[in-house]
Amino acid sequence: MYVVVTCYEPLRVYVYKEGLARFATESYTNAKKLDKKNRFMHLTNYSINKKSEKFMKNDNAEQDDVGYKWSLSAFCNHLE
């Protein structure tokens, strides 16, 4: 179960059983000469990342922990 709080006054809470976790195709680095315009490092939009050389498309819905868009349950399992 996943909880999103959108407002504290008045309290507004949404509860979801499942959702998506999206990732950028380039790993973030905190180097001195960080390329701030590297959109593959800073954004998780599918329409942007599909243009990256490192993009991996997942064509199998059964594998929800492959590529750059995972189910939240797969991401939580990965963290465990």
pLDDT tens for each residue of 15-70: 788 888 887 777 766 654 566 667 666 666 777 777 777 777 777 767 777 777 88
CA distance 29 to 22: 18
Contact 69, 46 (CB under 8 A): yes
Q: Which helix or strand (DSSP H or E) is residue 79 part of?
A: helix 72-79
Peptide bond into 10 cis (omega under 30): yes
Checking 40-43 for CB contacts under 8 A at 24+ apart, the result is: none
